[in-house]
Structure 1
């Protein structure tokens, strides 16, 4: 019996845990999960108690515990497990990998440590103060256009969905103030612990991200402890890169990175690695050398 949102691959030894954005649902990661499964990766998009839409709100420590439990469930079945997060889910992925350093790799999509994009309201900085007032239980941040989407047709579809429901394929219609407060706490925790995270890391971010500016990606790239780091910039998407114009690019880059990370690990361990190009052969030798120096 597998958890909801799990796509099993019986021909793979590599599972991928996919973490959606704050107060959202597995719908955000559905396209990526199906693509990775088609590339023979097992995938799981868990509903996390206290973090996902439809669950009772809890402190961010409980979010991390729930994500760790989902990781451990995959690790019981697959030799390798990697973690991929979207938006605040990317921050959660970093906190998870710090707790589970045996993770193969971590992939950060539209990483959000600060809500500092061009579409964020000017009063965002006041919300931490409002949290300590009676408004705490009543105020909610309401999503508005462009809903993280550069694709205008999809944006119109999501706008209609937001009118009918509290959730759409690109996230919730609104987010509570307590959830935003806990997200700020999670981001602060991650910022201070980046050096402890040494797993292979892929960062994919849109240069026009309206929710989290490129500064988020640059900060992590400059401070994370990963020895193998790749950053990819997108120029035809906004925040929701798993649904927007370049979702196929995102999916392909994730699959390629996962294969390369696994091959590099095997090379460092002295395994028999099929080499698909001279460039990859050089990279594998370099990474294997780094691995030997660290032992």
Structure 2
């Protein structure tokens, strides 16, 4: 397996953005977004996290949070403001980090995953709990399959070839171990109990057709988080990997806009008020409501 182990760091202004990739993956997932934010003036940092990122020895979810906190603290020593952005399980990790470091400027949750409950998830996605404590623990690996989180067919074909050749691609690994999945489940359970206490400005971007993480995930957070500045954006031409798929430009642009708005509101002392909910694709309101009814 050829695994990229290089972190991404782009020097910008005094507002740094710590970017957390998905489970057992790498900063490559965030490369486009990191470059776009840097072009908008932000300092961007997408690190490799010991025990969480691909190529490192698997560790507990507590160590994941510790590793992310170390990266946050290092940025906070150098920059006036530090925001946190996470993708997939990285978004759950971002929530855990901001709960621990409430001084973070803002929080961006992309394809938030607290449960693997999307339409493409097979029934065996998680083995029963007993499997984790059996010999399967060291042998079982969940294999990713079509559509690889991508609605864009040309990019999906490219990723499929990369998976066959190297078992790794710019959107992550071809397989994920049972211990990693177990720790991700533990992280999600922990985060659910912490969301209400989080007060940071929060952006949620999620695809209505996410095949990995259903809209129930962001709706849970949006309905319980303590943020007074909350923006939720629904996409309709992407699947799970929204930082690489058809609407990556929208994701990047809206993330940059939100972070600057949060910074400006904080500087002007006008961050209070009622929650702000922006539906970028208003025509999807009825579809979202239908999803909610079906999940009730």
Q: Do Structure 1 and Structure 2 share a fold, with TM-score over 0.5?
A: yes
**Local SS of the residue matching 2:124:** helix
Q: What SS does structure 1 have at the residue aligned with 2:199?
A: coil
Task: State the alpha-carbon separation in 1 of the partners of residues 77 and 39 from structure 2.
Answer: 22
SS of the aligned residue for 2:108 comes to: strand
TM-score normalized with structure 1 length: 0.89
Structure 1 residue 289: deviation in Å? 6.0
Paired residues of 1:265 and 1:288 also in contact (CA < 8 A): no
Post-superposition, which runs of at least 4 consecutive aligned residues in structure 1 deviate over 4 A?
none
Query: 2: CA distance between counterparts of 1:133 and 1:174?
Result: 19
Cα RMSD, aligned residues only: 1.2
1:146 is paired with a residue of what secondary structure? coil
> Is contact 2:24-2:54 (8 Å) kept?
yes
The DSSP-based 3-state class of the residue aligned with 1:237 is coil
Aligned match of 2:32: 31
Q: Does 1:91 align with 2:76?
A: no
Report the alpha carbon displacement of residue 123 of structure 1 after superposing the two structures with TM.
2.1
- Segments of structure 1 that go 5 or more residues without pairing to the other structure are 269-283, 291-295
What CA deviation, in whole Å up to 9, does each residue of 1:70-94 have, x standing for no partner?
1111111110000000000000000
Closer, same or farther: CA 135–32 of 1 in aligned 2, 3 Å: same
Please give the residue correspondences for 1:11-160 in structure 2 after superposition, counting only pairs within 5 Å. Answer: 12-160=13-161
- Once residues 248 and 120 of structure 1 are traced to their aligned partners in structure 2, the CA distance between those partners, rounded to angstroms, is 26
Which residue does 1:215 correspond to in 2? Answer: 216
Quote the residue 1:5 is aligned against. Answer: 8
Select between 161-170 and 86-95 the one with higher mean Cα deviation.
161-170
For residues 64 and 147 of structure 2, the distance between their equivalents in structure 1, rounded to whole angstroms, comes to: 28
Structure 2 residue matching 1:233: 3-state secondary structure? strand
222 and 288 in structure 1: CA distance in 2 versus 1, 3 angstrom threshold:
closer
Matched, 1:264 2:265: yes
SS in 1 for 2:127: helix
- 1:177-215 Cα shifts (integer Å, max 9, x gaps): 000000000000000111111100000000000000000
State the secondary structure of the residue aligned to 2:24: coil
Over residues 23-54 of structure 1, what are the superposed CA-to-partner deviations in whole Å (9 max), with x where a residue is unaligned?
Answer: 00010000000000000000000000000000
Bigger Rg over Cα: 1
Residue number in structure 1 paired with 2:288:
none
How many Å separate the matches in 2 of 1:20 and 1:201? 18
Separation of aligned partners in 2, 1:164 and 1:70: 32
Runs of 5+ consecutive residues of structure 2 not aligned to the other structure: 1-5, 275-296
* Deviation at residue 227 of structure 1 after TM alignment: 1.1
